[in-house]
Amino acid sequence: MGSVNQVSLRAEFDGLKGQFEALCARGQISAEGRALCQALLTLFSVLMAVFMEKSTPKTSRNASVPPSQTPKDDETASQPSTQSKGPDQNLERAHHTRTVETVALAPVTACGNCGADLCETPCQGHERRTRIDLLFEKVVSQVDAEIKTGPRCQVQTKGAFPPELSGPLQYGPGIKAFVLHLLVAQMVTLQRVQHLIRTLIDSAIAEATLLKWVMQLHQALACWEQEAIDQLLAQPTLHVDETSLRVDRQNHWIHVYAAGDITLKFLHPKRGREAIETLNLIPRYGGTIVHDCWASYLAYEHCGHGLCGAHLLRELTFVIESNGYRWAVHLKRLLQETCARVAQSDHKHLSAAEYSKLRRHYRSLLTRGAKELPPIPPRLNGQRGRIAKSDAHNLWERLKRYEDAVLLFAKRAHVPFTNNRAERDLRMSKVKQKVSGCFRTRHYAEAYCRISSYLQTMTYRGYNPLVAIQMALSGQIYAQTGE
């Protein structure tokens, strides 16, 4: 071999294996030599599979590596994005500002060519040009309460202030919504929010006041969160996922539950079974949960399970790039074609005959993969623990064991092919951690989870975030739900 790479190494090994099988067929190798060569070929196949996986870099395209840790690829960066921009905003629910619209007329009094008088000539049409601008207006509303003294008792009586004016100085709902939107949704730091507010209203707001507004909104959304949990439990499909978050210099986990137009995020120090039991949402759920094959989710057998096809496609891509297994190539193509066929169908699922054919094709590819994968060496005497396997073996076993969960998207219309919904809802939490580093206390981390859940849910429903925050602080959101 002139140079050693994955393609040449695989081709050389296949050639040697073919020559050995030909010699064995002609009877030119003894039984002892055949056993020895077969053991060596098995050992080399395992070592070669491990070598190819170790020499293949994992990226966001073929593994669950974050894009921020992946080197830039000019070929993929030049491709246009196919992601949706999300639901359109309902403009009828976004009247959070006052719109002042004026229309001025530019008259024509004389002809630009001959100079004739056109004052009495009727107009044939108009051409409009528009300019949109913002005028930052500070609105100060003051209430003077009269103070009078009774003529007989000489007791002073003071006029009653409105309920929203509980102290000498109050900030209105508009500035509160703007600040909370900057802190939670836009992830601006406290100090920068203070500077921005000072440039707008020419007065500084203390950091403690800003944090107090965060906790006020957090407490105002407590009942909304319980209602959202009840609504999630009634959904046929539930997207679940988790991601890490640094709180007080320790690693915590954000658990997300999403379905329809509802998103809920909860904070817990643990990632697995203990957190799921404490949150007590999946143990009470009876529908289908879509996840990335995390063992803690699979432990709940009373739920249906759908595996994320995006994760499986990335893992198949890595197996193809590292070892070039044909079964992985065909299986990846089968999943992609089935996903496209389901998306184009009117009922968003395959018929019984089509699904039966899909399963037979799926199982035949796994059978072919069992023959193509190198055998696992037997356990040595006295060896303990799990047997080390390659990524290809682990993926093949997972695809075989959870066949129903992998193909459930083709059988049930309400089960999607991927778990991208949960991953999208968690993505901004990682951005928040990159901006702020971590949360100093768990109380504010929990407040961030609840408030961001509410804002994402209201965004899915078409509400402007500034309006949604004002609705929560004023209690209007509960009035709309009938409380």
Residue 78 pLDDT exceeds 50? no
pLDDT the model gives residue 327:
94
Sign of CA dihedral 269, 247, 58, 339: positive
Residues 6+ apart with CB under 8 A from 386: none
Alpha helices in 56-134 (DSSP H): 74-77
Q: Is 69 helix (H, G, I), strand (E, B) or coil?
A: helix
Residue 462 pLDDT exceeds 70? yes
Question: Which of 41-50, 68-77, 278-287, 473-482 shows the lowest per-residue confidence on average (mean pLDDT)?
Answer: 68-77
Q: What is the pLDDT of residues 371-426, one digit of tens each?
A: 888 887 777 666 676 777 788 889 999 999 999 999 999 999 999 999 999 999 99
Q: What is the pLDDT of residues 327-352, one digit of tens each?
A: 999 999 999 999 999 999 999 999 99
pLDDT the model gives residue 313:
95
pLDDT the model gives residue 10:
67
- Indicate yes or no: pTM above 0.85: no
- C-alpha distances in Å from residue 105, one per residue of 119, 125, 430: 14, 12, 52
Q: What is the pLDDT of residues 340-383, one digit of tens each?
A: 999 999 999 999 999 999 999 999 999 999 988 888 777 766 66
For the segment 222-246, the average pLDDT, to the nearest whole number, is 95
Q: Is 289 helix (H, G, I), strand (E, B) or coil?
A: strand
**Which one-letter amino acid corresponds to residue 412?**
R
The rounded distance, in Å, linking the Cα atoms of 423 and 256 is 9
Residue 300 pLDDT exceeds 90? yes
- Name the one residue in this structure whose structure tokens are 């993969």: 369
**458 CB burial (10 A radius; 0-12, 13-18, 19+):** buried
Higher pLDDT, 301 or 59: 301
The rounded distance, in Å, linking the Cα atoms of 449 and 429 is 9
For the segment 60-86, the average pLDDT, to the nearest whole number, is 55
**Which one-letter amino acid corresponds to residue 435?**
V
Q: What is the pLDDT of residues 95-132, one digit of tens each?
A: 556 778 888 888 888 888 888 888 888 888 888 888 88
CB 11 within 8 A of CB 19: no
**Residue 311: which of 392, 395, 227, 238 has the closest Cα?**
395
CB 261 within 8 A of CB 460: yes
Residue 456 pLDDT exceeds 70? yes
CB 311 within 8 A of CB 64: yes
Tally of CB atoms within 10 A around 473? 18
Computed over every residue of the chain, the mean pLDDT equals 85
